[in-house]
A and B are shown apart, each in its own frame.
Chain A
Amino acid sequence: MTGLFSEIFLSALLFGAVTAAVPLLLAGLGEQMSEKAGVLNIGIEGMMIAGAYVGFLAAFSSESLWLGFLCGALAGIAVAAIMALLCVRLGLNQIVIGIGLTLGMEGLTALLHHVQFSRTYPRLPAADITPIPLLADIPVIGKAFFQHNLLVYLAVLLVFVMGYIYRRTQFGLNLQAAGDKPAALDITGVDVVTTRTAAVLTTGALAGLGGAYLANVGAGIFVPFVTNGAGFLGIVLAMLARGRPLWVLFGALLFGVSLSLTTALQVAGINIPTDIIQMIPFLAVMVMLVVFGRRSSLPAALGLPYVRGAR
């Protein structure tokens, strides 16, 4: 039990929490933008797994981590394009298509992975680390928060960029209007379909990037169904954050800690079965929903396709 409170354990736990939180943060920020614009994006799990697979494949064959991230984001965009075409442009049921995309992508990536690698699971080398000068030397905290891959800092930066977009730009206001009162946006001469399409494609890029980070840096490996509900956790974050990017960050860190605990407890040799430990993050979600669920609020037109002139 002594290992539980040692400095090394604590910094490893927090380091793991940040690593686990980044995919959730990216997915949550992406989902938040979709939901703001009025699209409930259940397909985000499919976008993440596509990003994870393509991102891993690109990084594995090119030996460039950043090419992997780029290809992962592009794969997410490709899946999101299907979603945008079917649900935003044609107005098909977002939940049905979302389930279809998630199932299809999980199956397709597992199938392709099996065809390429059969039962071998090649591993990527450990990701490059960019320590932040001075801060990285602080004991415990430095190792936990300031010795990460560059993408981690960029993801945190993105939180503030999103906040700026939502509060200070015309595009941010358009997004909000597309979710709350699309007809009003239409009257001002801004195309609702284009606004929502932009939001969904951004979601795809972020989810795909999150998936690629999860596979390439977090796990260093692609196995079928590797995202294991991370996309759905992103949806929960977006729901609880009520349109505020900073809350997505806090939520992602909280879930990151509970995800990190699952590995840390096993490493520390605490005698709790894996199955119980694996429940921790999802228990955290349910507790959050019970405590804060009453106040979770979603845009008025969420899930409804926009048809001009229809009531």
Chain B
Amino acid sequence: MSVDTAPMTSGTAAPAVGRAVFHRLLLTVGPIVIALTIAGLILLAVGVNPLTYYGYVIDRGLLSPTGVQQTLTRMAPMLFLAAGLIVAFRAGIWNLGGDGQFLLGAVTAAASAPLLVMVMPVWLALVIAFVLAALVGMVWSLLPALLRAYYGVNEIITTLMMTFLGVSLANAMVKLVFLDPGTTVPQTRTLAVEDRLPRLFDTTISSGLILGLVAVVAVHLVMTRTAFGLRLRVVGANPRAAVHAGLNVPHLTIAVFALSAALAGLGGAVDILGVQGNVRADWNPAYGLLVIPMVFLARLNGFATIGFVLLLSVLSIGGESAARRIGVPNHFTLVLIATVLIVLAIVEYVDSRYLSARRS
């Protein structure tokens, strides 16, 4: 969290620019601080010292050497999910089915990679596993895409339903089809550690992090700098105007779903091929719903998203360790993230009212 840099940047830049930057930072950091306070009160109510908890989370998630490496590794799948959400939200499509697409992508990668490495070079096997995961993610979004594009059925509901289906299907596939015959535990075959995505330098950080960063930045540039991205944003801003501008809205809608779901599928693959190595039965990290608030906080900006995903990852890794040591269950992270989201919406409202009051 770059709170400390705020006065420095505003001091050196021209006053007006400095004020704008400071204002932006205040709007971003403010809600987080307020939300941390509210969530802290909840902790107090259940008899936990919030300062101890937050201190422990930051220590375990960000400051300890093993913790920070775990945090950076976990960012990879979250970044892919965030990239998929940025594409969808900028185009006005509410793809809330990320978790189903993610899990099916993960199972696909886990089922294919250990078999593929037996017959081809490792790098090729990994590439094919990634492609397959992306394709399966896409297929899983096809029905909501068609329903939205041609019937106008609200995609929030259909993608959520497909997530419920996808999670069950993924579990069934692990238990019935892709079961590792070598163990009694219901799980897929395991990709050997040396065949997984390489680690960065001498650390335990998976190079999936680099892939995730590339995905988010690429999506950001496509959406803001290319004609294709502009078309999608026009569809998102005003579908009726997009029709009048001669855009094929149904085709673009389907393209958005495909891209978004493919990125979510890749997120599942990067977690398996980089970290987990296999999918155990009933494994469902459910990162998708937690990433959504981060993308809103970043106002759909790719670079800001990277910062917020780092924050989420710290909370997630630190929270898991706090669950074991302090006895505050993981669910608290959910409460905290939801509070941030709601407070952010309120702060933005107050800010826009304040600005318009000053102008008039």
Contacts and interface: CB of A to CB of B under 8 A. Distances in A.
A232 interface: yes
Nearest to A103: B338
Contacts of B339: 100, 104
Interface in A254-311: 273, 275-276, 278-279, 282-283, 285-286, 289-290, 293-294, 296, 298
B85 to A, nearest CB: 12
A1 interface: no
A92 B346 contact: yes
A107 B254 CA distance: 33
A129 interface: no
A54 to B, nearest CB: 15
Interface residues of A, number: 45
B338 A232 contact: no
A289 B156 contact: no
A285 B143 CA distance: 12
Contact of A294 (B151, B158, B332): B151
Nearest to B96: A99
Question: Which of the listed residues A97, A273, A289 has the most CB atoms from chain B within 10 Å of its own CB?
Answer: A289
A283 B165 CA distance: 7
Contacts of A95: 94, 156
A86 B338 contact: no
A296 B152 CA distance: 9
Chain A, interface SS category: helix
A236 interface: yes
A96 interface: yes
Interface stretch (B68-76, B123-131, B171-179): B171-179
B283 interface: no
Interface string B343-358: 0011001000000000
A186 to B, nearest CB: 21
A106 interface: yes
A115 B334 CA distance: 15
Contacts of A106: 331, 334
A235 to B, nearest CB: 6
A93 B345 contact: yes
Contacts of B46: 111-112, 115
B334 A275 contact: no
Given A95-B156, A96-B345, A100-B293, A114 B161 contact: no
A107 B338 contact: yes
A289 B153 contact: yes
A273 B147 contact: no
Nearest to B289: A103
Chain B, interface SS category: helix
A140 interface: no
A224 interface: yes
B160 interface: yes
Question: Which of the listed residues A42, A92, A99, A110 has the most CB atoms from chain B within 10 Å of its own CB?
Answer: A99
Contacts of A108: 42, 331, 335
A115 B329 CA distance: 9
Contacts of A289: 147, 153, 157-158, 161
A235 B94 CA distance: 15
B157 A235 contact: yes
B157 A99 contact: no
A39 to B, nearest CB: 14
A293 B151 CA distance: 7
A107 B158 contact: no
B154 interface: yes
A296 B147 CA distance: 11
Contacts of B292: 99
B342 A104 contact: yes
A232 B206 CA distance: 37
B345 A273 contact: no
B168 interface: yes
A282 B176 contact: no
A86 B331 contact: no
A169 B262 CA distance: 49
Given A293-B153, A296-B153, A282 B161 contact: yes
A276 B289 contact: no
Contact of A97 (B168, B169, B331, B345): B345
Nearest to A238: B157
B228 interface: no
Contacts of B156: 42, 95
Interface of B: 42, 46-47, 94, 96, 143, 147, 151, 153-154, 156-158, 160-162, 164-165, 168-169, 171-172, 175-176, 289-290, 292-293, 296, 328-329, 331-339, 341-342, 345-346, 349
6 contacts: A99-B293, A107-B332, A224-B331, A275-B171, A293-B151, A296-B151
Interface of A: 42, 82, 86, 90-93, 95-97, 99-101, 103-108, 110-112, 114-115, 224, 229, 232, 235-236, 239, 273, 275-276, 278-279, 282-283, 285-286, 289-290, 293-294, 296, 298
Given A42-B156, A106-B334, 8 more contacts: A99-B293, A103-B334, A104-B339, A105-B338, A107-B332, A115-B47, A235-B157, A298-B154
List 4 tightest A-B contacts by C-beta distance, closest first: A107-B334, A104-B338, A275-B172, A110-B331
